[in-house]
Amino acid sequence: MRSATRLLLPVVLPGLAVALWVLGGVALFYAALSPERREGVSAGLAPALAEGGALIFGWWLAGAVLAGWLAARLYARHVAAPARLADAARLLAGNADAPRAQAAGPEALSGLAEALNRLADERRTLQTDMARLVAEAQHKVAQERDQLGALMAELRQSVIVCNLDGRILLYNDHARSMFRRVSGGGDVIGLGRSIHTVIERALIDHARDTVDRHIARGEAPVSAQFVTTTPAGSLLHVVLAPVRPQAGESDQISGYVLLVDDITGDYAAQSRRDRRLIELTEASRASLANMQAALDMLDYPDLQPAERDGFHAIVRDEVTAMGQRLKAMTADASQEILTRWPLQEMLGDDLLAAASRHVQAQTGAEVAVGNADDGLWLRVDSFSLIQALGALAVQVAGAQSSLTLRLAPAATPGWAHLDLVWPLEVGTGPGTAGAVAGQAEVDRARDIAERHGGELWLEQDRPAGQSFFRFLLPTALSGPEIAWPESRPEFYDFDLFAASDSSRSLDDQPLDQLTYTVFDTETTGLNPAEGDEIIQIGAVRILNGKLLLGERFDQIVDPGREIPEASIPYHGIHPEMVRGQPRIAEVLPVFHAYTADTVLVGHNVAFDMRFLQMKEEVTGLRFDQPVLDTLLLASIAQPHEPSHSLEAIAERLGIEVANRHNAAGDALVTAQVFLRLWPLLQARGIATLGQARAAAENSYYARLRY
Amino acid sequence: MTDKVLIADDEPNIVVSLSFMLKREGYEVLVAPDGLQALDMIRSDPPRLVLLDAAMPGMNGFDVCEAVRADPGLSGVRILMLTAKGRETDIARGMGAGADAYVTKPFSTRELIVRIRELLA
* Selected residue of A274, A279, A285, A315 to mutate for chain B interface (largest B Cβ count, 10 A): A285
Residue A378 pairs in a beta bridge with A346, A475
**A291–B106 CB contact, under 8 Å:** yes
Residues A62-119: tens digit of each pLDDT: 988 898 899 888 888 888 888 888 888 888 887 777 778 776 777 888 888 888 889 9
What are the pLDDT digits (tens) for B65-101?
A: 999 998 888 888 999 999 888 888 888 888 888 899 9
Residue A331 has pLDDT above 80, yes or no: no
Same domain, A25 and A100: yes
Q: Do B20 and A296 touch (CB under 8 A)?
A: no
Top residue of B7, B11, B14, B89 to mutate, by most chain A CBs within 10 Å, is B14
Query: pLDDT of A456-471, one tens digit each?
Result: 888 888 888 888 889 9
What's the rounded Cα separation, in Å, for the pair A173 and A165? 22
By CA distance, what is A303's nearest residue in B? B20
Average confidence (pLDDT) over A470-488:
60
Number of folded domains that form chain A: 5
Name the helix (H) or strand (E) containing A423: strand A415-423
Are A202 and A348 in the same domain? Answer: no
In this predicted structure, what is the pLDDT of residue B81? 93
pLDDT above 90 for A441: no
Q: Indicate the DSSP class of residue A558.
A: B
Q: Compute CA distances A414 → A183, A376, A410, whole Å.
A: 31, 10, 8
Domain's final residue, options A151, A171, A205: A151
Residues of A with CB under 8 A from a CB of B: 278, 281-286, 288-294, 296-297, 300, 307, 310-311, 314, 317-318
Q: Which among A282, A297, A311 is the nearest to B84, CB-wise?
A: A282
B chain contacts of residue A307, beta-carbon cutoff 8 Å = 20
Q: How confident is the model at residue A483 (pLDDT cuts 50, 70, 90)?
A: very low
Is the pLDDT score of A488 beyond 90? no
**What is the per-residue pLDDT for A493?**
64
Could you say which of B14, B20, B87 has the minimum Cβ distance to residue A289? B14
User: CATH no. for residue A240?
Assistant: 3.30.450.20
Q: What is the pLDDT of residues A158-167, one digit of tens each?
A: 889 898 888 8
pLDDT at B1 over 70: no
CB contact under 8 Å between A294 and B16, yes or no, is: yes
Say yes or no for a CB contact (<8 Å) between B107 and A300.
Answer: no
Residues of A in contact with B51 (CB under 8 A): none
Name the residue facing B17 among A282, A283, A293 (closest C-beta): A293
Q: Looking at per-residue confidence, does A433 or A127 come out higher?
A: A127
**How far B73 CA lies from chain A's nearest CA (Å)?**
32
A281, A284, A290: best mutation site toward chain B, by most B Cβ within 10 Å? A290
* Mean pLDDT score, A170-192: 79
| Chain B residues inside the 8 Å CB shell of A293 | 14, 17-18, 21, 109
pLDDT tier at A479, thresholds 50, 70, 90: very low
A101 in the same domain as A125: yes
pLDDT for res A185: 64
Q: Output the pLDDT for position A606.
A: 85
A89 and A228 share a domain?
A: no
Residue B96 near residue B66, CB atoms below 8 Å: no
| A653-694 tens-digit pLDDT | 888 877 677 888 889 999 999 998 888 888 888 888 888 888
pLDDT at A134 over 90: yes
As a whole number of angstroms, the distance between CA A19 and CA A182 comes to 105
Q: Find all residues with CB under 8 Å of A33, minimum gap 6, and list them.
A: A41
The terminus-to-terminus CA distance of chain B in angstroms comes to 14
CATH classification of the domain holding A397:
3.30.565.10
Chains A and B form CB pairs within 8 A to the count of: 61
Percent of chain A that is helix, strand, coil (3-state, to 5): 55, 20, 25
Residue A560 shares a structural domain with residue A605 = yes
Which residues of chain A lie closer than 8 angstroms to B61, CB-CB? Answer: none
Q: Which chain A positions have a beta carbon within 8 Å of B20's beta carbon?
A: 297, 307
A466 with A541, same domain?
Answer: no
Model confidence at A491, in pLDDT bands (50, 70, 90)? low
- CATH of region B4-120, choose from 3.30.470.20, 3.60.40.10, 3.40.50.2300, 3.20.20.140: 3.40.50.2300
Q: Check whether A561 has a pLDDT greater than 90.
A: no
A282/B24 CB distance under 8 A: no
Q: Do A281 and B86 touch (CB under 8 A)?
A: yes
CA distance A227 to chain B (A): 26
Determine the 3-state secondary structure of A119 from DSSP.
helix
Burial pattern A518-553, b for ≥16 Cβ within 10 A else e, equals bbbbbbbbeebeeebbbbbbbbbbbbeeebbbbbbb
Distance (Å) from the C-alpha of residue A303 to the closest C-alpha of chain B?
A: 10
- A160 and A146 together in one domain: no
**Claim to verify: residue A202 and residue A84 sit in the same structural domain:** no
Is A499 within the bounds of a domain? no
Of the candidates B11, B86, B87, the beta carbon closest to that of A290 is on B11
Residues of chain A positioned with their CB less than 8 A from the CB of B89: none
* % of chain A at pLDDT higher than 90: 12
CA A567 to chain centre: 38
Rounded to whole angstroms, the Cα distance separating A280 from A329 reads: 8
Q: Domain boundary residue among A94, A122, A151?
A: A151
Q: What are the chain A neighbours of B84 within 8 Å (beta carbons)? A: 281-286, 289
pLDDT exceeds 70 at position A500: no
Residues of chain A with C-beta less than 8 angstroms from the C-beta of B104: 285
Q: Tell me: pLDDT of A427 over 60.
A: no
Of A457, A476, A495, which closes a domain? A476
Partners of A288 on chain B (C-beta within 8 Å) are: 105-106
10 Å Cβ neighbour count for A344?
13
Same domain, A12 and A124: yes
Say whether pLDDT at A539 is over 80: yes
Nearest alpha carbon to residue A669 among A631, A623, A696, A706:
A631
Distance of CA A546 to the CA centre of its chain: 10
Q: Which residues of A touch B85 (CB under 8 A)?
A: 282
Instruction: Decide the pairing of beta strands B4-8 and B49-52.
Output: parallel
Which residue among A286, A294, A318 places its CB closest to the CB of B84? A286
pLDDT of residue B5 exceeding 90, the answer is yes
By C-alpha distance, the chain B residue nearest A311 is B17
Q: Among all residues of chain B, which has the CA nearest to that of A296?
A: B109
The pLDDT of residue A382 is: 83
Q: Which domain holds residue A253?
A: 155-262
> Is the pLDDT confidence value at A1 over 80?
no
Across the interface, whether the CB atoms of A286 and B108 are under 8 A apart is answered: no
pLDDT, tens digit, 9 for 90 and up, residues A248-284? 556 678 889 999 988 887 788 788 888 888 888 899 9
pLDDT tier at A37, thresholds 50, 70, 90: confident
Q: Which residues of A touch B87 (CB under 8 A)?
A: 278
Contact: A288, B105; criterion CB under 8 Å: yes
Distance from CA of B85 to the nearest CA of A (A): 6
Out of B20, B21, B85, closest to residue A282 by CB: B85
Query: How far are the Cα atoms of A99, A118, A124, B118 from residue A92, in angstroms, in the given order?
Result: 8, 11, 10, 114
Banded model confidence at residue A489, pLDDT cuts 50, 70, 90 = very low
The answer to whether residue A487 sits within a structural domain is: no
The per-residue pLDDT for B4 is 92
- Provide the whole-model pTM: 0.52
pLDDT in tens, A621-636: 888 888 899 988 888 8
Task: Report pLDDT digits (tens) over A589-620.
Answer: 888 888 888 899 999 888 888 888 888 888 88
CA distance B18 to chain A (A): 7
- A236 and A317 fall within a common domain: no
The residue with greater pLDDT, A129 or A235, is A129
> Do A241 and A376 share a structural domain?
no
For residues A561 and A596, membership in a common domain is answered with: yes
User: Taking CB atoms and an 8 Å limit, are A307 and B20 in contact across chains?
Assistant: yes
Mutate to test the interface with A, among B7, B11, B17, B116 (most CBs of A within 10 A): B17
Is A541:A551 a contact under the CB 8 Å cutoff?
yes
Query: CA geometry: angle at A356 spanning A351 and A359, to 5°?
Result: 125
The overall average pLDDT reported for chain A is 82
